[in-house]
Structure 1
Amino acid sequence: MSKLYVVPTPIGNLGDMTNRAVETLNSCDLILAEDTRHTQKLLNYFNIKTKMISYHKFNEKQRSEEIIHKLLNEDINAALVTDAGTPCISDPGYELVREVREKGIEVIGLTGASALTTALSISGIETYEFAFYGFLPRKKSELDTALKRVLNNPVKTFVFYESPKRIISLIENIKIHMPNSTLCVCKELTKIHEKTFYGSVDDVLEQLNNYSDVEKGEYVIVGYNNDYQEKDDTDNQLSLHAILFDKLFKNEYSLKEAVNEAALEGIASKNEAYKASLEIKKIIEKLR
């Protein structure tokens, strides 16, 4: 029976490649790589000769169909890799894994490098529970909405990914929405020039502004939201109903439009807004 292996690769230090990962890539019939040129360097280093094809966000649908057909009909094993770290974590792959599972094909995961867990482990910030958001939107209005969601999330530890050109802008925006947050900003994890910036949002912003190579390398931001305020569930539920009613009648929205906008504005999760909308629907039907 065919199998799909999800294989982590190093995020910077080749010494983090596990023996099992090398053995798996060697023994598989096909490697699915986000960037074949990048992965070829890794394969050359470990003398891996397995056939490789591209699998990335621009050809994900087409490739998924091809790969599933091969797994179902040719009795082969395939390995999914990303440019760095664990596939499917803020990278392409989850759609393939889902479809493969739905076809009854076995999926096997390997442990290995992950920028997410590496940053959490060295952050000094509570990790009993955390919310991972990947890369936040670039557009200012969408970024503000996303940060409001983070602010209102009762899970106070948050993790973002960010590029070097936007790191200072992101920290400045975190300061606007969560001025009392504690941050650990990790740069170039596991690489020669690895560096961390830790402290209050003001301290970290000052450290980054004084760092000459701030616009080089990739960043992981681990933070703790000290600005979160517990809300009374009853009051919150009443205000959510009022907000939805307001959107329905003032803006002449449908219930679906009101729910979507409330979720985008960070007023409530989509699930909470949807539940409230069902209650509103019942009230409206009674009034008719």
Structure 2
Amino acid sequence: MILLAATPIGNLGDASARLRETFEAATVIAAEDTRHTIQLLRLLGIENRPELIALHDHNEHERAASLVERARDEDIVLVSDAGMPTVSDPGFRVVQLAAEMGVDVTCIPGPSAVVTALAVSGLPTDRFAFEGFVPRKAGDRTRALEELANDRRTLVFFEGPSRLAATLADFARVFGSDRPAAVCRELTKMHEEVKRGGLAELAEWAAEGVRGEIVIVVGAGAAKVFSPEDALAEVQNRVAAGTRLKDATREVAEATGLSARDLYAAALAARN
């Protein structure tokens, strides 16, 4: 089978007993960076020396099939450099192909920067979305953020330290300067820091320079207020774009809090 193994994101003490046992028994490890994995095995005191296969963003598509086929006969442990494989890390194509080919996949759970940052952010955790790294190109970034501006979930992003200030400034411009957020830096490490505040305030703080691994957590957008007339117009726009009336009224009702039945009746009346 394929074993997805979460590895420490900073503190080696977060390596579970199950992870250590898996490493000791492994015959093959597919690793994002084999040099990093060799170092991890050494630091954890693992005496086993399994075969290491490089599996990263640039070769996963080509190597996935052979790894999955090999997993029919022996266990393949799959690790990224830190955290959970497949989450903004290599492994997704392997899992996808294994599911298609009927090869078992299991997971050795453990550290994840996404849920760790979410947990310490002080922002709502009942509904959230992980958005990965924001696009680097200005136009793509603006379009992506505008799509998320009114999202009612807490949003989690990865970002590099050199781009943090610019990204936070863009967040403040599109999401609103006072929208609450948290910048989580060097999670589980010696210099762990969580900086909370409005987006504009955090952008000003980051402009002084920030180091380390960064996760940004942004609070949910405010609900957009629609009048019944505006909501009806939105339904009509969606229908004109090809959405079925029933689906359009349901979607707009969910977004506005208005009655789907009333919107449907109003749309039918407007047709007549």
TM-score by length of 2: 0.82
How far apart in 1 are the matches of 2:241 and 2:100?
39
2:130 is paired with a residue of what secondary structure? strand
Q: State whether residues 28 and 76 of structure 1, in contact with CA within 8 Å, keep that contact through their aligned partners in structure 2.
A: no
How far apart in 1 are the matches of 2:120 and 2:53?
35
Aligned mate of 2:154, from 141, 154, 157: 157
Please name the residue that 2:143 is paired with.
145
Return the letter of the residue paired with 1:129: R
How far apart in 2 are the matches of 1:156 and 1:66?
39
Report percent identity of matched pairs: 36
Q: State whether residues 7 and 84 of structure 2, in contact with CA within 8 Å, keep that contact through their aligned partners in structure 1.
A: yes
1:61 is paired with a residue of what secondary structure? helix
Tell me by how many angstroms 1:178 deviates.
1.0
Please name the residue that 2:237 is paired with.
239
Tell me by how many angstroms 1:110 deviates.
1.4
Tell me by how many angstroms 1:237 deviates.
2.9
Tell me by how many angstroms 1:199 deviates.
1.1
Verify: 1:177 aligned to 2:174, yes or no.
yes
Aligned mate of 1:24, from 22, 25, 28: 22
How far apart in 2 are the matches of 1:222 and 1:204?
12
1:112-156 CA-to-partner distances (Å, cap 9, x unmatched) read: 000000000001100101111000100000000110111132x33
Q: State whether residues 181 and 227 of structure 1, in contact with CA within 8 Å, keep that contact through their aligned partners in structure 2.
A: no
Aligned mate of 1:222, from 194, 217, 223: 217
Residues 152/23 of structure 1: CA separation in 2 closer, same or farther (3 Å cut):
same
Please name the residue that 1:44 is paired with.
42
Q: State whether residues 158 and 216 of structure 2, in contact with CA within 8 Å, keep that contact through their aligned partners in structure 1.
A: yes
How far apart in 2 are the matches of 1:167 and 1:235?
39
Tell me by how many angstroms 1:242 deviates.
5.2
Gaps of 5+ in 2: 243-251, 253-272
Q: State whether residues 184 and 197 of structure 1, in contact with CA within 8 Å, keep that contact through their aligned partners in structure 2.
A: yes
Gaps of 5+ in 1: 245-267, 269-288
Return the letter of the residue paired with 1:143: R
Cα RMSD (Å) of the superposition? 2.0
Residues 20/233 of structure 1: CA separation in 2 closer, same or farther (3 Å cut):
farther
Please name the residue that 1:78 is paired with.
76
1:176-203 CA-to-partner distances (Å, cap 9, x unmatched) read: 1111310011011111111111011122
Q: State whether residues 5 and 78 of structure 1, in contact with CA within 8 Å, keep that contact through their aligned partners in structure 2.
A: yes
Tell me by how many angstroms 1:241 deviates.
4.8
Please name the residue that 1:111 is paired with.
109
1:43 is paired with a residue of what secondary structure? helix
Q: State whether residues 178 and 225 of structure 1, in contact with CA within 8 Å, keep that contact through their aligned partners in structure 2.
A: no
Residues 230/83 of structure 1: CA separation in 2 closer, same or farther (3 Å cut):
farther
Residues 207/31 of structure 1: CA separation in 2 closer, same or farther (3 Å cut):
same
**Displacement over 6 Å in runs of 4+:** none
Tell me by how many angstroms 1:160 deviates.
0.5
Tell me by how many angstroms 1:233 deviates.
5.0
Q: State whether residues 97 and 107 of structure 1, in contact with CA within 8 Å, keep that contact through their aligned partners in structure 2.
A: yes
How far apart in 2 are the matches of 1:234 and 1:157?
28
Tell me by how many angstroms 1:228 deviates.
4.2
Tell me by how many angstroms 1:243 deviates.
6.6
How far apart in 1 are the matches of 2:85 and 2:225?
35
TM-score by length of 1: 0.78
Return the letter of the residue paired with 1:203: E
Tell me by how many angstroms 1:209 deviates.
3.0
How far apart in 2 are the matches of 1:195 and 1:97?
34
Please name the residue that 1:11 is paired with.
9
Aligned mate of 1:97, from 95, 98, 103: 95
How far apart in 2 are the matches of 1:201 and 1:243?
35
Deviates more, 1:62-71 or 1:124-133: 62-71
Please name the residue that 1:125 is paired with.
123
